[in-house]
Amino acid sequence: KGEEALSGHPILKKGTRLDAATIGFALSASVHDVPVFIVPNIGIFSTGDELSQPGTPAGDGMIYDSNRAVIAAMLRTAGCAVADLGILPDDHDQVRAALAAAAETHDAVITSGGVSAGEEDHVKAAVAQAGQVHLWRIAIKPGRPLALGQIGRVPFIGLPGNPVAVMVTFIRFARPFLRRLAGAPWVEPQFYPLPADFDFEKKAGRREYLRVAVAAGVDGRSVLRHVPGSGSGILTTMVAATGLVELDDATTRIVAGDSLDYLPFTEVLS
């Protein structure tokens, strides 16, 4: 008696995610009925006349939209339900109406693209009309044109248009918030110190995320290698990477052997 739990003590704390181990533990104490948070239902849009639906012909100057599928996959690993609401055109009135309608039936709304400073970037203005924009543009690379706000009382997250920037900003900003919306405690991702196997220079005054892969060094110990290619639209770099390195605002130079803060994708994408 009392080997796993004592009478009168909690079996599971509020905010615990139910998985194989926690479900089994609860049942082993004959706790078979527990209150849970409703899975949040998140509506997602892509924006832009340049986007074409995968599987259909793409005209000159158009690109296939991968962002909605990327966001949907990350949402599911964060414990959310997903409503794919399609591609919004570069038309202010249509964007405003679609966002307002989505806010009536979803727990949060996420867009990709349309939050930069171009003439056809209508999302930020549409959100400001329907609610509030609390934050726009942050000093990070990639992902500067991030927008956070609300449509009425419904949270809004405006991710950048480039797919790598979408993934980075989702991991660092959207995911912790959405997990909190799903009833989990606010938890920052776990970084691990590993040595660099490369040299790198960056500008001061902004946080930067490098795509890296864990490899074996000359002594057999794990090191971080920089994945070639730095464009925020190059998804092959995310395929080749095993995680991200976060460089703080003050850092301007990395030399081989420096200890870096490494965030493996297994912590945040599975």
Question: Residues 14-68: pLDDT tens digits?
Answer: 999 999 999 999 999 899 999 999 999 999 999 999 999 999 988 888 999 999 9
pLDDT value at residue 117: 66
Helix axes 123-130, 92-105, angle to 10 degrees: 50
More confident residue, 265 or 231: 265
pLDDT value at residue 2: 85
What is the average per-residue pLDDT within 92-113?
96
Top mean pLDDT of 50-59, 112-121, 192-201 is at 192-201
pLDDT value at residue 153: 95
pLDDT value at residue 146: 94
More confident residue, 258 or 115: 258
pLDDT value at residue 7: 87
CB burial string 161-196: b at 16+ within 10 A, e below: bbbbbbbbbbbbbbbbebbebbbbeeeeeebeebeb
Confidence of residue 120 (pLDDT cuts 50, 70, 90): low
pLDDT value at residue 116: 73
Confidence of residue 229 (pLDDT cuts 50, 70, 90): confident
Residues of the chain above pLDDT 70, percent: 99
Contact in structure between 200 and 253 (CB atoms under 8 Å): yes
Minimum mean pLDDT among 4-13, 103-112, 114-123: which range? 114-123
What's the burial of 97, exposed, middle or buried (CB within 10 Å: 0-12/13-18/19+)? middle
Minimum mean pLDDT among 117-121, 171-175, 186-190, 257-261: which range? 117-121
Arithmetic mean of pLDDT over the chain: 93
More confident residue, 83 or 59: 83
Is residue 5's pLDDT more than 80? yes
Contact in structure between 161 and 48 (CB atoms under 8 Å): yes
- Within 54-176, strands assigned E span 63-64, 81-88, 108-112, 131-136, 140-141, 147-151, 154-159
- What whole-number distance in Å separates Cα of residue 95 and Cα of residue 60? 24
Confidence of residue 119 (pLDDT cuts 50, 70, 90): low
Contact in structure between 73 and 82 (CB atoms under 8 Å): no
